[in-house]
Chains A and B, each alone.
Chain A
Amino acid sequence: MSDKTMTTDEVVSRLHSGMTLGIGGWGSRRKPMALVRALLRSRITDLTVVSYGGPDVGLLAAAGRIRRLVTAFTTLDSIPLEPHYRAARERGAFELMEVDEAMFMWGLHAAANRLPFLPVRAGLGSDVMRVNPTLRTVTSPYADASSGVREELVAMPALRLDAALVHMNRADRLGNGQYLGPDPYFDDLFCEAADAAYVSCERVVDTAELTKEAAPQTLLLKRSSVTGVVETPNGAHFTSCAPDHGRDEPFQKLYATTPYAEFAARFLAGDEQAYQSAVRAWHKEQR
């Protein structure tokens, strides 16, 4: 069995401009931020990003790397509206496929199950249909037993991904990924919907270590759907990664209130290690 550990730069070397990239987590929760930062250090651009949006979307949008975004929302949770995303949208910086969060999930399910679409009720009657003129409906082949109605439903197309980036609490070298927080979000689906999935984690551990204290259902990702594993301690920063670390609220506030160029100059000019020390230095200044 192969050792899939690699560095963030090795992950980025396997990505390229123009690809469709899924990013796991939810809002400002357990986002693969170290991988996003590595992407920002590269020249990769023209991306189609598929994400339950948080600061991953805000950063990539502010840096002009997104050609097209597929999302249901973009938020920082404790700060409801993502300011860098808002600014990019208001200057018309990228194309948007705005769908409902359930439609989004079924799009991932379809992709993971190699189906062209899955039927959903969500979307009917809403302007999701207006702003996505390529969305189609399907009529159920089965009549409702009582009403005789054959329902018309939205055919949510598969959200197939060239690559997925997710962040776990733990992983082994083979690619088995474990979450220890309250919600898996949709990270397993992102990996299964992608041709290649890259998992960053707080700590790479021996396989036997994974289930020593945690229940087996915390093993979210199977190695068969994982391409690469990167150890990035504090790699979800500044988003939450319970129980390893909470959201860095003061730093998130700084991010939300600082013009992107200024934020990037101070925090994103160097590598991940430089980022983490710049964050520590900033916290020290605040004391």
Chain B
Amino acid sequence: MSPASTPAPGAPAAVVTRAEYCVIACAEAWRDNGEVLASPMGPVPSIGARLAKRTFSPDLLLTDGEAMLVGLDGTPEGWLPYRQHLTMVTGGRRHVMMGASQLDRFGNQNISCVGDWSRPTRQLLGVRGAPVNTLNNPTSYWVPRHSPRVFVERVDMVCGVGYDRAAAAGPSATRFHRIPRVVSDLGVFDFATPDHSMRLASLHPGVTVEQVREATGFGLSVPDEVPRTREPTPEELRLIREVIDPGGARDREVRS
């Protein structure tokens, strides 16, 4: 890897896009994770996971989306069929970043259906592996369009288990339960509050606290001083733009 940490001579200092801040915020989820499987779902988390592996978390494992563990250049290094993937989950050697059709203040997530489960107004994917993920390995979330329709007071079907529901279910449920972060197109959120309710952890540059409040369907915990999501380094920007996502998938998922 070239030591270039400054733009090429003569290159215009391109403005960092919102999508690129999102990539950085997702990548940071996998910092200091060690030798675990990074399971990103969606374009921006995938770019983030590959950026983390290329830079500060080189020990991460990645899949090809099917049953192979692959290096950054696609070289297979292992076999991970679904049955072994599930053991990686229950063994805790994985950090997944899932999507969410609905997400509440304690991190309960829904990807199953909208409306009454017995006869939904909108059938979605189903619970998939959200229950097993949330009780066994760190589970973060990615929401490309932060809105009150996603960040809701109550989810219609608890698929991914949040902090309140895990606590109510007892020590088997809380034993390995952890939601490190939620990343949206507006900011980064965590649950570092006394009652584990969602807190604004950082704002992406260009976003105001008011904007986040308006786009959130529940009362969000907001500290007096809200930090900004960190800037990408010039080398990270180069990797995102020229190596990992030259086709610009990130900008199609998050518009600036």
Contact = CB atoms under 8 A, between A and B. Distances in A.
Nearest to B174: A125
Given A89-B113, A105-B86, A183-B67, A125 B127 contact: no
Interface string B168-189: 1111110111000000000000
A74 B126 contact: yes
Nearest to B169: A125
Interface stretch (B19-27, B115-123, B207-215, B243-251): B115-123
B66 A103 contact: no
A186 B172 contact: no
Contact of A102 (B119, B129, B161, B166): B129
Interface string A17-41: 0000000001000000000000000
A34 B160 CA distance: 35
B234 interface: no
B67 A126 contact: no
Given A90-B119, A121-B172, A128 B66 contact: no
Interface residues of A, number: 43
A102 B14 CA distance: 45
The number of chain B residues touching the other chain, given as a range, is 35 or more
B90 interface: yes
A193 B52 CA distance: 42
B170 A72 contact: no
Contact of A86 (B119, B123, B171): B123
A147 B171 CA distance: 10
Interface string A143-162: 00001010111000000000
B198 interface: no
B135 A121 contact: yes
A166 interface: no
Q: Which of B86, B124, B132, B165 neighbours the largest number of chain A CB atoms within 10 Å of its CB?
A: B132
B145 interface: no
B123 A102 contact: no
A78 B126 CA distance: 16
A94 B89 CA distance: 31
Contacts of B112: 98, 127
Contacts of B125: 73-75, 80-81
6 contacts: A81-B125, A105-B83, A122-B136, A124-B166, A125-B173, A126-B161
Interface of A: 26, 53, 71-75, 80-81, 85-86, 89-92, 98-103, 105, 120-128, 130-131, 147, 149, 151-153, 182-186
Given A127-B112, A186-B83, 15 more contacts: A72-B126, A72-B129, A80-B125, A81-B125, A98-B127, A105-B83, A121-B90, A121-B132, A121-B176, A124-B135, A125-B131, A126-B130, A126-B160, A152-B170, A183-B81
